[in-house]
């Protein structure tokens, strides 16, 4: 795909947001108090996670993004041994606080005419309720709506392109109406309309945020050609880059240049 963009697209992005915090160090001994490794921390990195990671990756393609997300702070801490590029532990902070749901009244300020697509990054933390999802689908029914949701009940969605991983797809209890699925299969690629679009074999360092990168590539690839198979193949290539890096990843200009065919 030639991704030298002629038009600047505008995306409405709505979803849960968090901060990904990586504590990097080396484990050289076990604790004398319990049989657990002791991490000698060398550095800490903070990165935007969930829908904020989607936003940054969409912006890597020079897409103009209107982003609505929760204001409550959620943090995902990951402890990583850099010697082996190995995650030791993850602990989450802030999820015991109720997240205020999205006020759909804010959509009145968004001109439907100016939006090229809607992206819903729903990590099921409470920001996007079923009622909100149904309202958004109705308000933007004439636009392509891409959804990545952790909900098991997707019956409030209609007319969407749903990106979902294989495990989540198998756990669904209620299906969306008049929607299609792109099911990511890890190293096997992605399934769409009965066809598996394979990926290149890639050494995997970290899958954190790879789904967000895939979603961003899928949206951009579809906007460029309005054709799903090529969009999925492009999204696969974006995800291949992401999993080869450590930590929540944002595509760089060099990555995007390398994606040109």
* Structure confidence by residue, pLDDT tens digits, 195-218: 999 988 777 677 878 899 999 999
pLDDT above 90: percentage of residues in the chain: 77
Question: Does the structure show a pLDDT above 60 at 157?
Answer: yes
pLDDT of residue 15: 97
Confidence of residue 171 (pLDDT cuts 50, 70, 90): very high
Is the pTM of the predicted complex or chain greater than 0.85? yes
- Domains of the chain in sequence order: 10-256 (3.40.1190.20)
DSSP string, 94-140: STTSPPPPP-GGGGGGS-GGG-SEEEEEE-SSSSS-HHHHHHHHHHT
pLDDT tens for each residue of 60-91 = 999 999 999 999 999 999 999 999 888 899 99
Band of the pLDDT at 226, cuts 50, 70, 90? Answer: very high
Mean pLDDT for the stretch of residues 106-125:
92
Question: What is the pLDDT confidence band of residue 97, given thresholds at 50, 70 and 90?
Answer: confident
Work out the average pLDDT over 147-155: 97
In the predicted model, is pLDDT for residue 6 greater than 60? no
- The whole-number pLDDT of residue 199 equals 87
């Amino acid at each position: 795909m030639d991704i030298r963009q002629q038009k600047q697209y505008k995306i409405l992005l709505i979803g849960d947001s968090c901060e990904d915090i990586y504590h990097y160090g080396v484990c050289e001994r076990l604790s004398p108090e319990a049989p657990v490794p002791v991490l000698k921390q060398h550095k800490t990195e903070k990165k935007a996670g969930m829908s904020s990671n989607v936003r940054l990756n969409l912006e890597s393609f020079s897409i103009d993004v209107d982003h609505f997300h929760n204001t409550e702070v959620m943090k995902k801490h990951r402890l990583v041994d850099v010697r082996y590029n190995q995650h030791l532990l993850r602990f989450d902070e802030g999820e015991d606080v109720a997240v205020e749901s999205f006020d759909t009244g804010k959509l009145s300020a968004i001109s439907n005419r100016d939006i090229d697509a809607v992206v819903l990054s729903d990590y099921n933390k409470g920001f996007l309720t079923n009622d909100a999802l149904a309202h958004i689908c109705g308000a933007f029914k004439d636009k392509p709506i891409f959804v990545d949701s952790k909900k098991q009940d997707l019956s409030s969605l209609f007319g969407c392109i749903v990106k979902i991983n294989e495990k989540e797809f198998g756990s669904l209890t209620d299906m969306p109406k008049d929607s299609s699925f792109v099911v990511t299969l890890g190293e096997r690629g992605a399934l769409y309309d009965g066809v598996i679009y394979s990926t290149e074999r890639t050494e995997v360092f970290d899958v954190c945020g790879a789904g967000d990168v895939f979603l961003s590539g899928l949206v951009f690839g579809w906007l460029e050609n309005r054709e799903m198979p090529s969009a999925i193949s492009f999204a696969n290539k974006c995800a291949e880059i992401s999993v080869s890096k450590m930590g929540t990843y944002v595509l760089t200009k060099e990555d995007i240049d390398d994606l040109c065919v």
